[in-house]
Amino acid sequence: MKILLTGATGYIGKRLLPILVNQGHEVICCVRDKQRFSCPKEFEKNIKVIEVDFLKKETLENIPQDIDAAYYLMHSMSGSASNYDELESISAHNFVERINQTNAKQVLYLSGIVNDKSLSKHLSSRKAVEEVLKTGTFATTTLRAGIIVGSGSASFEIIRDLVQKLPIMITPKWLNTKCQPIAIADVLAFLTKSLLNPLTYNQSFDIGGPDILTYKEMLLGFAKAIHLKRYIYTIPVMTPKLSSYWLYFVTSTSYKLASALVSSMKVEVICRDNSINSILNINPMSYEMALSKALVKIDNDDITSSWKDSIISGQFKGNVKDFIKVPKKDCFIDRRKMEIKDRAFTINQIWSIGGETGWYYGDWLWGLRGFIDKLFGGVGTRRGRTKKREIHAGDALDFWRVLYANKKEGKLVLYAEMKLPGQAWLEFKIIKNTLYQSATFRPKGIWGKLYWYSVLPFHGFIFNGMLNRLIQ
């Protein structure tokens, strides 16, 4: 079968893709930027990548007519636009209009559980998208999930951050709200087993694990799983805004995502019925088992996808291809070079930079810069990196975005997502037996120039120290 996969670079899409290919399907991957799509070589014959922006009707012509089904996996709740609900509605209408012109028999949509009359803006938007999809000439299958538990999921990473960093937590009262978490493996099972299954046509199903827990119980359950003792006290006076800032400063989440999550966490998300389990013969795993599987993935450095790599996790705007060529005109450039002794060693050092490894020299200064960035509403350094040894274009790397990563060529280009009075690039490239390291800054006005000269004294030992460690 030929399957259209939207959100192919997203958390769910990256995990669903290999499953569909292994089942023998030909998958058409919709992406806004081909430069951000990394395709495993073993799947190349069964995958076609097309650039589509569902806010731009003209790009939808790239969608082939002979598709059999489509997955709609697009959400914008943590985007920078305050009217993300309107944008989601426009995208859904454009999607329906185009899919109506194809041979698609079914569209599958992953939404959120909406069993409360008073819904957050985020959940209301997802419900509205579901209604738009139902207007199509194709059959619609909606799967509604609450908290998804898996390595790299936003919910899981927030829980992990809170438990690992705070022995004692003074928390808002919404931590007593009940929810029904579900393992990412089970979400993928529901998505694949519902595909072109007539028993799921034109229906909406709530999907969840067997456990109904409060958010507090979920935090304590995680603490138990990693053998830590934690104390949690809830207070009624913490406003949604304070709650959002609490999540923003303690965890790796963006403020926009924190705000959306806080507004949703005040509403219970519990499955109304689990008939879908018997229809598809799926028995979802417990929260404890889901945690165990996620922790094994992390220990083995086998995280397939992470919410942190999504564009909306940072300040990056536009396509990678628009920034990949590092400018020279009207820029300040710190260039350094050094002869390398072992090419393989140096490349491995470069490809391990950031995250838990750090920046090889003056890590406390990098951390301080990240903290200052966080104070001014930036991403800081808490995103880290998804994998310890692998980097792909589009990945987040602390407060950088990877623009280009070619290990064979020995070239890595990063773009700064921190709050800056200008734009910044950090580039590493190996030519023959020499490593070239360049920090480029394009200032914006007088403040940009003042910023460059204020940090210039630190460049001498930070960048020189980093260059030495990459080689020796």
Q: Which superfamily, per CATH, for 314-471? A: START domain (3.30.530.20)
Q: What is the pLDDT of residue 344?
A: 92
80, 131, 150, 311: CA torsion to nearest 10: -20
The whole-angstrom separation of Cα 430 and Cα 305 is: 28
Q: What is the pLDDT of residue 83?
A: 67
359, 363, 366, 368: CA torsion to nearest 10: 160
pLDDT digits (tens, 9 = 90+) for 191-215: 999 999 999 999 999 999 999 999 9
DSSP code at position 350: H
Q: What is the pLDDT of residue 34?
A: 81
pLDDT digits (tens, 9 = 90+) for 233-251: 988 777 777 777 777 777 8
The total of other beta-carbon atoms located within 10 Å of residue 427's CB is: 19
Q: What is the pLDDT of residue 78?
A: 47
Q: What is the pLDDT of residue 353?
A: 94
Question: Among all chains, which residue has been given the structure tokens 């899409």?
Answer: 13
Could you tell me the mean pLDDT of each successive run of 10 residues in the chain, 472 residues long? Answer: 92 93 94 80 86 89 94 69 73 92 95 71 76 93 92 87 89 86 96 96 94 93 94 81 77 74 75 90 96 92 80 62 85 94 93 92 89 83 84 89 92 93 95 94 94 90 91 86
Q: What is the pLDDT of residue 116?
A: 60
Contact 21, 48 (CB under 8 A): no
| DSSP-based three-state secondary structure for 334 | strand
pLDDT digits (tens, 9 = 90+) for 153-200: 888 888 888 899 889 988 888 888 899 999 999 999 999 999 999 999
Helices 240-250 and 154-165 cross at an angle (nearest 10°) of 80
| CB-based burial label for 225 (10 Å; 0-12, 13-18, 19+) | middle
- List the CATH code of the domain at 2-308: 3.40.50.720
Q: What is the pLDDT of residue 312?
A: 60
Q: What is the pLDDT of residue 202?
A: 95
Q: Where are the domains of the chain?
A: 2-308, 314-471
Cα angle, residue 218 at apex, residues 214 and 221 outer, rounded to 5°: 135
